[in-house]
Amino acid sequence: MSDASPATQVSPANPLTEASATVPQTLLITLTGDDHPGVTAGLCEALTPFPLVIVDMEQIVVRGRLVLSVLVAIDPEHDERQDLSEVMANVRRAARQAAAAEDMDVTTVPGAQESPIHRQQRLEITVLGAPLKPDAVRQIANQIAGHGGNIDRIRRIAAYPVTAVVFEGSGADFHDLRSALSVTARRAGVDIAVQEPGLDRRGQHLIVMDVDSTLITDEVIDELAARAGVAAQVANLTEQAMAGALDFSASLRSRVELLKGLPETVLSEVRESLTLTPGARTLCRTLQRLGYRVCLVSGGFAEVIGPLADELGVDGVQANRLEIVDGVLTGRLQGPILDRRGKREALEAFATQFDVPLRRTIAIGDGANDVDMLEAAGLGVAFNGKEPARAAADAALSVPYLDSVLYLLGITREEVEEADARFPG
């Protein structure tokens, strides 16, 4: 066991040192060792006889190893007749004895203060990797430090199906760091989201998702085209539209026209063939249990996704509608097209309906027609997105698991499993 060497005296300008400019008025006590019950109580019991107040406390347990730090200061109402040098010496001695009794190592640093960096802008940087490698963490940490930021805490929130860790930091400019880390993410082969913690993030209770290639792995119109024998033509138009190379509305009308003459019965066949994205049920189920409103917006067709929405129990759906006459698709659409602008308007309408400010909404999509929606939401997430969506989003996920969105909301894998255990079925 050892004490750190005494620090230089603290400036008299600090309120904690006004009583005596020559005696350090604070002491940082850090215990490390195997975790077991009673460590915090034992240390605080040892400190109780002294004229101290607790300024800060932090504890973390990693694989059974405990790190407990307590920053104490001389009580401003202490007896002025007391020799503060002697008080601090006795406090350090008591801390050593308490640590020895718990079979812990201890360091004590006189004059320690909370770093000014803690009063700067706070950031939460969520990193997802499958797997997460040391070199990726090195690149992320270098970027944070290079932008003047400090990593105050790191915690893991998921071990599978991806490894997800949260870096809690401070000091760096939010926008500059987010731009730099988006480049780092691609180079390091991980997903990164930089967010500002606060009440808005805790109050995000509306999530609006695209359907094709987001909630489901399929593109509904491609499935219909395959049954109409025009798969290649439609797939080419779909790809160009999602990449932003073609106007979505014009592209959609051209694709639907190719479906003319397809019997209505094909719609039910396609409904049965759809595959949910891995994690989609978990995402919807978990958010609903937490009180979120979950809504779907789709450039696809209500006739196909409506039953899926009912199955998932979502709160709202907006999608395009096919014109059907005498049991046959006419190759035309009914009503206005839900395009890029329409998806944003749908997000705004759902937010109004459920009385949720836009800054507290979450949007998830993958294509160019999702850009306006992603930009308007409080948190826009590009899920395996095309370049326009990635550029517009606050966070981009490249893993194939839709429930990874939960980690961006600070929801841990353990909390998901606990919810499943408490609310089975």
Q: Does 37 sit behind a cis peptide bond, omega within 30 degrees of 0 on the bond before it? A: no
- pLDDT one-digit tens code per residue, 247-268: 888 889 999 999 999 999 999 9
Q: Do domains 117-197 and 206-393 have the same CATH topology?
A: no
Cα separation, 287 vs 406, whole angstroms = 8
- What pLDDT does 180 receive? 93
What superfamily does domain 206-393 belong to in CATH? HAD superfamily/HAD-like (3.40.50.1000)
For the 15-114 domain, the top CATH level (class) is alpha beta
The domain defined by 117-197 folds into Alpha-Beta Plaits (3.30.70)
DSSP E strands in 75-190: the ranges are 105-110, 122-129, 150-158, 163-170
Residues 105, 173, 212, 420: which is the catalytic one? 212
User: Which residues of the chain have a pLDDT value below 70?
Assistant: 1-23, 114-120, 198-204, 425
Cα separation, 204 vs 229, whole angstroms = 44
- What pLDDT does 20 receive? 43
Cα separation, 146 vs 237, whole angstroms = 43
Domain ranges of the chain: 15-114, 117-197, 206-393
pTM: 0.78
Cα separation, 249 vs 320, whole angstroms = 11
Q: 47 near 127, Cβ under 8 Å? A: no
Locate 270 and state its tokens. Answer: 């396609």
Residues 35, 105, 173, 210: which is the catalytic one? 210
Locate 8 and state its tokens. Answer: 């230089």
For residue 198, the 8-state DSSP code is S
Active site residue 176: no
Locate 378 and state its tokens. Answer: 């409080």
- What pLDDT does 122 receive? 84
Number of H helices, E strands in the chain: 16, 15
Q: Which of 83, 80, 102, 78 is nearest to 29 (CA)?
A: 102
- What pLDDT does 23 receive? 66
Active site residue 212: yes
